Amino acid sequence: MSVAEPSVASRNVMWILIPSLIIDMFAFTCILPLFPSMLNYYAKNVVFSGLLGSLFSALQFLASPTLGALSDVYGRRTMLLASGIGTMISYMIWLRAETFTIFVLSRIVGGLSKANINVATAIVSDVYKPEDNAKGMALIGISYSVGFLIGPMFGAYFSTIAPKVGL
């Protein structure tokens, strides 16, 4: 193996990983402009609002170690793909939700399938040399920051046009 191979491999992997992380955080944060009004409308007390607001992250916290271990067994690519598919299914459920219960179900599915950040971190550790690991981790952080920056802007825009198009 030549010295150039790890850097070529890491560049190729990062061309896939970075956009997928941006899209993921974009989709996750699109709901943020809508979430407070949804909680005010459906939640009758502060405790319920807090529990509902943290449901996705709590389930992600509980599921991530298992999904990370599965990435060691079945491979990083397989688990990144499975996480992306599960997250996409949760967003499709949310998009079609006509009741609050279905919305909560979408958040449960999303939280249980969200392991992409753990798998992305493992991928960076696998493909980068130890001395370049910080660069790869910085790219993960930048990807999430870009998605977090543009997601709420689009969510706010979508919330203004949704009633006009019958959503």
Q: What is the pTM of this model?
A: 0.80
Answer whether residue 141 shows pLDDT above 80. yes
Q: What domains appear along the chain, each with residue ranges and CATH number?
A: 4-165 (1.20.1250.20)
Of 32-46, 112-126, 130-144, 151-165, the one with minimum mean pLDDT is: 32-46
- Per residue in 42-57, pLDDT (tens digit) is 666 677 777 777 888 8
Q: Is the pLDDT of residue 165 over 60?
A: no
Helix axes 100-113 and 46-74, enclosed angle (nearest 10): 40
Cα–Cα distances (Å) from 28 to 3, 7, 76, 106, 119, in that order, read 38, 30, 21, 12, 17
Mean pLDDT of the chain: 84
Q: How confident is the model at residue 137 (pLDDT cuts 50, 70, 90)?
A: very high
pLDDT in tens, 4-22: 445 566 678 888 899 999 9
**Residue with the two structure tokens 């690991």:** 133
Share of the chain above pLDDT 90, in %: 38
Q: Per-residue DSSP letters for 61-76?
A: HHHHHHHHHHHHHH-H
pLDDT of residue 89: 95
Buried b (16+ CB within 10 A) or exposed e, 128-138: beeeeeeebee
